[in-house]
Every structure is written in structure tokens, then in C-alpha cells.
Amino acid sequence: MQQVMLSSGRRMPVLGMGTATYPVPPDEIMTSAVIDAIELGYRHFDTASVYGSERAVGQAIAAALERGLIRSRDELFVTTKLWCTDMHADGVVPALQESLRTLGLEYIDLYLIHYPVRLKGDKQMVFTSEDMIPLDMPTVWEAMEKCQGLGLAKSIGVSNFTCRKLADLLSHAKIPPAVNQLESFGVVMQCWNVKRSKELLSLWEKAEPRWGVEQGGSIVVKSFNKERLKENMEIFDWNLKEEDKERLSLVPQKRLILVHPFISPNGFYKSHADFWDGDV
């Protein structure tokens, strides 16, 4: 599989399997899907403490080693994320250590800040803007750097950061983030011609992963269906036609990630545009 070189000097497979889904399926379903993916050649797996999928991913890795599907854990690239309730200097390293225990791993390949937000309360997906509390990003990032220094994470990065927030982070970082993962990417289409719109949507669904790779990016796709997982792996067997590239480049793009729980007229972020620093 194609790989991309990170600023940390590590290589990351450009295609990964995502494990974020709600409601969270039973461990055996998730574990089986990850094992299927490993059999098909996937080597990059994306999870997070808040997803509730770390244990199942770890079980799948252990099973793959036992069955001889992989020779060593080093063949895999595993990403997990720091949840917002642990976004403080004393919470980062313990949170990663907890994730490693849940995964049954000694190190993570990539550790990401999930959102540039700090929340009070327990680790859960259900929250409101009232749960947001002040965030000290410099000390959080210093703790992220400690994770890499301790060997708990081979690379560190961020998720859902705007250019402005990245610039602020880089102004004080000793180790720059290796990755900025935008977890949800949507397409807004105006159906001026139903037949042509359906045709273009079909093209996009089939070509989006390949388009992302050809743009020089790394992508995470989510499916627990073995046939769909196989189809996604086949993007390396063909190239987009020039006319299709041109058509896809004209599709309006917009961030559709669900950040509305962070939005409040009296909160830190008063609108989606505010959250994304106008980069929507």
C-alpha cells in the first residue's frame, strides 16, 4: 500500500479503516470487521477513546498476530485520539496510557488531539456548550510532546484544527504536529439536473477515496462490510480520468462535521464559522 512520510520521520499508509460509529456495535462485530480488513491488506486503523472501539481494535490485532495474518504489531499503523475531557496538562499522558491498556499495545503510531476544545465531566459523546471550559493549548501540546518523548506515541498531531489554530500551535510547539485530521468531509450539491446529479454523486462515491489519494492526502474510510472494504482497497488499481478529475474538482465542498454541541450564543464558539475561524 502507498505510504506518506510524516514530519516525524514515520511512514503512514494513505488508506485507513475508521471505527467511529454510533451506536457502538458489540466488540465481536468490530473485531471481526478489523480482522477482515487486515486480511484484505489494510494496515492503518483509526480509533479514539471516545469511540468505544479501542478494545475491539486491540482484540483484532491480537487475533491477527495469533492467526499469522501479520508477523508483528510493527506492520500496523494505529491512530487514537485524546478526548476533550482530558485536554489539560495532567490529563494527556494518563489518557494515552489508558488507551494503550485498552488496546493492549505498548505504543501508538499516531496520537491526535480530537478537538481544540476542553470539556468538563466524563468521557462521553453527549455534551453541550455549557460543558466547555477554558483550554490552555500550550501546556496540552507540551504534554503531547511528552507522549512522543516517552515513546508512547511515535507521532503526534491534531484533528479539526483550522489554519489559524495550527499557526497558533506552531508558534510555541517544539515538535510540530505531523497530521491534521479532518474527521468529517461532506459534499453540498445543487441538483439542477436529477440525472446528471445522480451520475455525479455515483462518480463521487466511487472515486472520492482515489481522488483524495491523488490529491496527495491520506484518507480514512469506514465500513464493516467486507465487500465494501475490498472495494476501497481497489482504489490503488486504477487512476481517475482527466475529465472525471475536472468534474470532481467543480463539486462544492464544505465542512459538515457536527460541531453544533460546541456552538452557543454565549459560549466560546458562537457559530460554525466561529469554530472554523471563517474557514467553512
Residues acting as catalytic residues: 51
For the CA atoms of 39, 77, 179, 52, the dihedral, rounded to the nearest 10 degrees, stands at 80
Beta strands in 199-247 (DSSP E): 219-221
Sheet holding 77-82, edge to edge: 180-181, 153-159, 108-113, 77-82, 44-46, 15-18, 219-221
Feature table: binding site for substrate: 114
127 vs 125: CA distance, rounded Å: 6
Question: What are phi and psi for residue 206, nearest 5 degrees?
Answer: -80, -35
E strand or H helix at 51: none
Q: Which of 46, 36, 31, 1 is nearest to 234 (CA)?
A: 1
E strand or H helix at 159: strand 153-159
Q: Which of 72, 49, 15 is nearest to 230 (CA)?
A: 15
Feature table: binding site: 114
Name residue 253's amino acid.
Q
Q: Which of 220, 204, 211 is nearest to 53 (CA)?
A: 220
